[in-house]
Amino acid sequence: MSDQNDPMAEIRASFFIECEELMEALQDGLQELDDGSEDPETINVVFRAVHSIKGGAGAFGLEALVRFAHRYETVLDEVRNGSLHPDSEAMKLFFLAADHLSDLIRACRDETEINESTSDELLERLDALLGEEGGAEEIAPEEFEVQGLSLSLDLDLDLDTATGDDGGDEAESTALYTIRFKPEQELFATGNEPAMLLRNLCDLGEARVRCAFGDLPSLQDLAPETPYVEWIVELRTDAAEPEIRDIFEFVDGLCELEITGGTSPLPEPQAEAEAATEPALPEAAPPPPEPDPVATTDTGATILPMGPRDAAPEPAREGEGERKATPAAKSVVRVDLERIERLVNLVGELVINQAMLSQSLDEAGLSPHSDAMNGLEEFQRLTRDIQDSVMMIRAQPVKSLFQRMSRIVRESSAAVDKEVRLITEGEATEVDKTVIERLADPLTHMIRNAVDHGLEATERREEIGKSRAGTVTLTAAHRSGRVIIEVADDGAGINRKRVQEIAVTKGLIPADAQLSDGEIDNLLFLPGFSTAKQVSNLSGRGVGMDVVKTSIQSLGGRITINSEPGKGTTFSISLPLTLAVLDGMVVNVANETLVLPLNVVVETLSLGTDDVQMLRPGNYVVRWRGGFVPLYDLGVMLGYRSHRQTDPGSIVLLIVLEDGSRAALVIDGIQDQRQVVIKGLDDSFYRAPGIAAATILGDGQIALILDPADVISGMGHIRGTDLMLSERKIANE
């Protein structure tokens, strides 16, 4: 049977999708703990994430994942109950364990080889936090002695201990549930533990837990692998029943579970004990002592008390007061990405057909007030609404991508022996899912570059008065209809003198080249350029920022550098919000039809007689609102025609780029403003500077989509100092 028709394959795939969300919660929780959070709910979130991954993995027989997650959650449970207070070194280990847990999930999903040696090393370090080495110790034969078993699984936690005036109010605001939980044999075979489930249950409120032995057979009839006991929990909580059932989500079908609500307490433990059938003990065994709330078995396992650990009521946790007012969680439907892509393609075809219909009706000469034209306007509005809705389906926060970069920072800093701190901002910024997936590699290289080249060595930072730990800041934001992602460090900045010397040595530029700071910075993007003095795990292999630039350009984006000596360097990536549809201005240039992104066009001008000034042969500026803007002939820049004199009356588009710089583009005419469907150019096409993609117009004609910033940077723009001097010269005249 193929995976497409196998229901278990679909459930398995859903589990791995769920793991991504759980890993995101785990990373968030660990980061909060590392930042100094003392909220008990934070460690609960971390613990539950690992526990849920273990439970789901056990259901699918993923033994390596279950083994590691089980030992990991054991340590986290010690943190949760206050027995272990993690220091900075422990937190580093927790992050490493989370990274490896992610690797195990990926290996199990892709059915690839699992690195057992890494698991063993990390598990040894985790055990060391608990004072354990090599797991459980072996018992010497001469030390083993048969003894009677003293075991009590009853946990008497009085629910009616609240006193004072507030006791009645608390009782009225909470509900009393009775939960009967009986595990089946498969529950233990999948790595789940009743103790963990009951602890999670007791975290919801105040509880009394009792274990009933009514089905326990005589000793000679007992099957070791068959569970006979069940737990009955009386829970007072303000949580709803679905929240209680969520705790048993990964053991659904592996146990008997009954949840009933009521107001009368259960019989006292003594009455329950009298009704229960006690297991028969060998005659030679000594009489059992009184039951103890904390009991141990002959295997060394400890049954810990559930719920509050002292008689005093727990202080309300931060945010608990608002739990009742919080609206129910939104329902989420997981859809295969291929189906979404098909829907996006269909919407693209709908936009193209809408444009064709619009052009046909225009050519027919119908009145703008006719029923057909009114219907067309409604059709255009609906098409736009559908397109916006579909794009929202594809949009995802960059949070998952930023979390992956946290791991890159940890690994890179360890490789070069530097202390590095990552700060992230704008994690909720939404980007097209395709963009997020294809950003991972270039961002990884940029982060490694910042850690290896950007930040000074720890000793050097201390010498010059900087903090011992370097800082890398990763930010995302929407700006001017695009997504801006920046990677900044507080390091030494770009050593421009050395960069230029290396470029001359490699024959990339002439020895007598006079370059501005920006032009020197852009040398970093030349193929094979590297400032590394020796090959390391991170750099020095001749694969540098040129790969990053190529990757960004393939997404219709661009990358810029801003560096200040002694203060650091910032790499800025500008990307389109989506790779599917954009609002564009359709223009004519030298008998060619082109499309410019509408968001960069701020004004259209018609040149007057005195508007154009020449700075030097071939370089012109246009007067605009009391200032001057560089003027370019778009047809000349794209090679459609040779240089020509700009005549009065020529149409000019004033554009503003992400960095705030302005330019004026001379065109021959404006056709329309419309939505266009982006059709990417694959590797079989020559990627000319300034050409971002292509589209199909309403008449079936193919038009190129331009990236104005790339067009201008490819031709070389007027330097700011030259423009400033020219403004003074023109003003004096």
- Taking residues 494-512, what's their average pLDDT? 86
pLDDT band at 147 (very low <50, low <70, confident <90, very high): very low
Structure tokens at 668: 């021959």
The tens digit of pLDDT for each residue in 278-295 reads: 444 344 444 444 433 333
Cross-sheet strand order for the sheet of 619-624: 601-606, 651-656, 662-667, 627-633, 619-624, 612-616
- Taking residues 682-703, what's their average pLDDT? 74
CATH number of 151-160+167-281+291-309: 3.30.70
pLDDT surpasses 90 at 104 = yes
pTM of the predicted model as reported, rounded to 2 decimal places: 0.59
pLDDT band at 390 (very low <50, low <70, confident <90, very high): confident
- Taking residues 181-191, what's their average pLDDT? 81
Residue 451: what pLDDT?
A: 92
The length of the chain in residues reads: 733
Least confident window among 1-5, 28-32, 170-174:
1-5
Q: Which fold has domain 3-136?
A: Four Helix Bundle (Hemerythrin (Met), subunit A) (1.20.120)
Q: Looking at per-residue confidence, does 158 or 263 come out higher?
A: 263
- Taking residues 685-708, what's their average pLDDT? 78
Cα(116)–Cα(654) distance, integer angstroms: 61
Distances (CA, A) of 235 to 48, 214, 266, 334, 568: 19, 22, 10, 33, 56
The tens digit of pLDDT for each residue in 394-412 reads: 788 888 889 889 889 988 9
Residue 681: what pLDDT?
A: 67
By the 8 A CB rule, do 730 and 613 touch? yes
Percent of the chain with pLDDT strictly greater than 70: 76
Distance of alpha carbon 315 from the chain centroid: 33
pLDDT band at 323 (very low <50, low <70, confident <90, very high): very low
pLDDT surpasses 80 at 12 = yes
pLDDT surpasses 70 at 519 = yes
Element (H, E) at 692: strand 691-696
Cα(639)–Cα(704) distance, integer angstroms: 14
- Taking residues 249-276, what's their average pLDDT? 63
Structure tokens at 439: 């950003």
Give the three-state DSSP class for 32: helix
State the average pLDDT for the chain: 76
Identical fold for domains 3-136 and 398-576, yes or no, is no
CATH 1.10.1060.10 fits 398-576, yes or no: no
CATH number of 581-732: 2.40.50.180
pLDDT surpasses 90 at 489 = yes
Residue 338: what pLDDT?
A: 79
Residue 4: what pLDDT?
A: 53
Residue 633: what pLDDT?
A: 86
Distance of alpha carbon 600 from the chain centroid: 29
Q: Where are the domains of the chain?
A: 3-136, 151-160+167-281+291-309, 338-395, 398-576, 581-732
Residue 646: what pLDDT?
A: 67
DSSP 291: -
pLDDT surpasses 70 at 547 = yes
Q: Looking at per-residue confidence, does 146 or 244 come out higher?
A: 244
Q: Looking at per-residue confidence, does 113 or 678 come out higher?
A: 113
Residue 508: what pLDDT?
A: 81
